[in-house]
Structure 1
Amino acid sequence: MVGKKISGSQSAKALGSAYLFIVLFGVVSLFSDMTHEGARSITGPFLSNFGLSAAAVGIIAGFGEFIGYGLRFVSGYLSDKTRRYWLVTGVGYAINLLSVPLLALAGRWEVVALLMILERAGRAIRNPARDSMLSHATSEIGHGKGFGIHEALDQIGATTGPLIISLALISGATMRHAFAWLLLPALAALSILVFTRIRYPNPQTLEVSKKESLKGAHFPRAYWFYLVAASLVATGFVDYPLLAFHFQKQDVMQGSLIAIYYAVAMGVDAIAALVFGLLYDKIGIRALMVSTLVSFAFPLFAFADGPIFALVGVILWGVGMGAQESIMRAAIATLSSKEKRATAYGFFNMVYGIAWFVGSSIFGILYTVSLPWAVGFSVIIQLSALPFFALSGRSRQKV
């Protein structure tokens, strides 16, 4: 009887410790996203002030995403090889966050582009190691739920960041002033990260001890089908800077509303992350099929005439982003072994980033030729991911 009480107490303590780790990292991400998503809400219009075309903005944003995902394979591999997950995570956060306020000092579009790429590179360095550490804690409460909670907190920052930027612009501040103010949440994120490192020096101990069906250096067939499906979704998606560029160039809305729309998208992202995270724990990869069917039509509305259609498009875009940034991470945790998890995250994100870069570049080029062609490309490519998600789900059941 006493043994059972002790066991129950230990289980409750482990659960509480896992929740606290996820929440602490969620708060780090909250301030982190407040910083870089606040900046990203106006980088499209900021670049357009230098006279760049839609294709140029799309290529810069897409290349930033390519770097932001492409470097993750190297980062993930090195994290697993060295087992220095905290060091890699810390370096990545520092580069990612400190690049943003430096935009206030940029006087040429080349410098702006470089800082945008550095910000994405910082994310590339930090994310595989961070997600690997998070996956240990989410194994205790459910991968979908755990990553959903983290993403929801993440998106609170991603929502408030653009709102702060919008309020600053409405009050008369310049874009440069807005970038400078983002130094404050950047420093807050780094401070909480240091505290979390001190509190949890070895997050691997948070993982539930259980027999693994996935071992060794090779990934199962379900992983590869999943990789194809996710890459198709990435190819068909569009960066918000290009949406913002369209809204400004076509005079769809006032400039201050562009950041508010982005905040709306991030709010939807947070809700979608929780909803689809819980759904993932119940029905698995089929949850991504549902999210794709909901979000694939976003370009049909976002690139239509008028702010109402644009708002609907932005909401659907937010649903898609919420699923991509929560469930897709949760799925990798179930499709890879504990020893190779950072590598699995890194390789997945490298291919995903290449797909995002190619898709953003193609969309930007098609946009300058024919808007209907660009929209059709986005819709068709996203829908083509559905059968591969289905194949991944079936293959996973056989493991």
Structure 2
Amino acid sequence: MSAPDKRMNILLLGFVSFLNDISSEIIQPILPLFIAQLGGGSMAVGLIGGVSDGLPSILKLLSGCCSDRLGRRKPLVVAGYALSAAGKIFLPFSSAWQHVFLLKTVERSGKGVRSAPRDAMISESADEKNKGRGFGLHRAMDSAGAVVGSLLAYLLWQGGYSYSSILMLAGILSIVALIPFIKVKESFSGSECSIRLNLSALSPELKAFLFIACLFALGNFSYMFFILRAQAHFSGSMAVAAPILLYLLFNLVYALLAMPAGIWSDRVGRRRVLFLGYSLFALTAIGFASISSLWGLIVLFALYGLVYALVDGSERAYISDLCPAGLRGSSLGIYYGLVGVASIISSLLAGALWSLWGAEASFLYGAAAAALAAGGMMVMMRRER
């Protein structure tokens, strides 16, 4: 594949994510409110947030290995986005929170199928010295779609549309997001991979980082808890409008800083960027545990967006740095699978702590796990020196 084709691949995959995230982020800020309307409490939010984000990550392990063994990436990426669209289009017809649980799991399973081979495509379409830039550009376009989607969710709610109508529009947009794949070219032309990758085959440095990433995932529970925490400080119509606007702020900060953070990680090293991101999340979670003002919520949602800008793309780029090219999809799949299991545990624990001892306990737990992950990155940096 020529250099212009590689650059175009990254742009097209970013555009697909832009359109898909408009669709997804129309749903995200109203989903916990929709669950509450259907009778679901904090345990339901924890179950839906944990399983819908965590269980599909196991599919990322399978799809990453499968793309290496098949010697092709694109078919799995397209299939994943199509499966997500199918889950979204039926979400508006939910009449109980259990329906949301099932359809959200289907929708996120699509992400499980597509993410590892898609990230491998991005890595293979970027120069060796500019992987952080490539992942940062993709994350920036992805989160720009999140900003647009969050804004649309707010405008539609203010326009008097029901939850079901808003969700239906999101489903239609997810189908439109499939169109750019017509021009996306296959990035992997290697022969079928016959190697069966397992944890024992990974380098010691990669295994150490996977452990640290799982520690962070154990504290990085579902975003829905942050929205519910914000909602508790408002009443009337502002109980819906304010959390949506705060979520919009989170996505705006994430979109603006994702690419600069990726470029910065190319220059100063992934470990330093990840250490900062994990540490900042611990401080942000402590802030959410003690927040009592609107201005405090504004600052904390902005910091939450900065955390994702620092961590999300850098973790994936670092995994790509630490594995051989022919096993990149498999290594990313293992990363997603392990982090996904940790995410299930994280959100279920957060929901249980919230029910038993209140919101403060959930966020203090998240801060403790993130602090341990930051300590792990510090150890890795010292070993490097």
* Higher deviation after alignment, 250-259 or 159-168: 250-259
Q: How does 1:204-243 map to 2 (within 5 A)?
A: 204=188, 218-243=201-226
Separation in 2, partners of 1:217, 1:142: 29
- Choose from 266, 272, 278 the match for 1:292: 278
1:141 Cα deviation after fit: 5.5
Residue 336 (str. 1) matches residue 323 (str. 2): yes
1:156-167 correspondence to structure 2 within 5 Å: 156-167=144-155
What SS does structure 1 have at the residue aligned with 2:301?
Answer: helix
Q: Tell me, yes or no, if structure 1 residue 270 matches structure 2 residue 270.
A: no
Matched with 1:251 is 234
After superposition, the Cα gap between the structure-2 partners of 1:95 and 1:394, relative to the gap in structure 1 and judged at 3 Å, is: farther
1: distance between equivalents of 2:57 and 2:381? 24
Match of 1:46 in 2: 34
1:87 paired with 2:75, answer yes
Match of 1:76 among 46, 49, 64: 64
In the alignment, the residues of structure 1 paired with residue 141 and residue 7 of structure 2 have an alpha-carbon distance, to the nearest angstrom, of 13
The alignment status of 1:302 with 2:288, answered yes or no, reads yes
- Equivalence for 1:352: 339
Distance 2:240 2:379 in 1: 43
| Distance in 1 (alpha carbons) for counterparts of 2:363 and 2:128 | 41
Is the contact between residue 225 and residue 389 of structure 1 (CA under 8 Å) also seen in structure 2? no
Q: Amino acid of the residue matched to residue 171 of structure 1?
A: G
Q: Distance in 2 between matches of 1:132 and 1:296?
A: 30
Q: What is the rounded CA distance, in whole Å, between the counterparts of 1:145 and 1:383 in structure 2?
A: 27
Query: For residue 235 of structure 1, what is the amino acid of its counterpart?
Result: L
Q: Do residues 180 (structure 1) and 163 (structure 2) align?
A: no
- How far apart, in 2, do the equivalents of 1:132 and 1:194 lie? 19
User: Contact 1:89–1:125 at 8 Å: present in 2 too?
Assistant: yes
CA distance in 2, matches of 1:59, 1:136: 35
Residues paired across the two proteins, number: 372
Conserved? CA contact 2:71–2:189, under 8 Å: no
Counterpart amino acid of residue 218 in structure 1:
A
Q: Do 1:69 and 1:354's aligned partners in 2 also have CA atoms closer than 8 Å?
A: yes
Aligned to 1:203: 187
Tell me if 1:194 matches 2:210.
no
Q: 2:22 aligns with which of 34, 38, 55?
A: 34
In 1, the alpha carbon distance for the partners of 2:287 and 2:2 equals 46
CA apart distance, 1:263 = 1.6
CA RMSD of aligned residues (A): 2.2
CA distance in 1: counterparts of 2:267 and 2:128, whole angstroms: 15
Distance 1:217 1:86 in 2: 28
Map of 1:145-156 to 2, 5 A cutoff?
Answer: 145-156=133-144
- Residue equivalent to 1:377: 365
2:193 maps to none
What secondary structure, in the 3-state scheme, does the structure 2 residue paired with 1:138 have? coil
SS at match of 1:288: helix
**Structure 1 partner of 2:266:** 281
Contact 1:54 1:364 in 2 (8 A): yes
Instruction: State the distance in 2 between where 1:394 and 1:128 align.
Output: 30
Q: Is the 8 A contact 1:300 1:313 kept in 2?
A: no
The structural deviation recorded for 1:155 is 0.5
Q: Which is worse superposed, 374-383 or 147-156?
A: 374-383
**1:212 aligned residue:** none
Q: Verify the 8 A CA contact 1:149 1:273 in the aligned structure 2.
A: yes
Matched-pair contact (CA < 8 Å) for 1:301–1:312 = no
Post-superposition shift, 1:45? 0.5
Does the 8 A contact of 2:82 with 2:175 survive in 1?
A: no
| Other structure's SS at 1:347 match | helix
What's the offset of the Cα at 1:23?
1.1
Cα deviation for residue 205 of structure 1 reads 6.6
Query: How far apart are the structure 2 equivalents of 1:205 and 1:389?
Result: 35
Return 5+ residue gaps in structure 1 as ranges.
1-12, 207-215
Tell me the residue number matched to 1:361: 348
Further displaced range: 121-130 or 58-67: 58-67
| Structure 1 residue 15, shift from structure 2 partner | 4.4
**Helix, strand or coil at the partner of 2:305:** helix
More moved, 325-334 vs 238-247: 238-247
Q: CA deviation at 1:337?
A: 0.7
CA contact (8 A) 2:72 2:189 kept: no
Give the 4+ runs in structure 1 shifted more than 6 A. none
Residue type at the aligned position of 2:60: R
Q: What secondary structure, in the 3-state scheme, does the structure 2 residue paired with 1:384 have?
A: helix
Does the CA contact (< 8 Å) of 1:232 and 1:382 recur in 2? yes
* Alignment gaps of 5+ in structure 2: 191-198
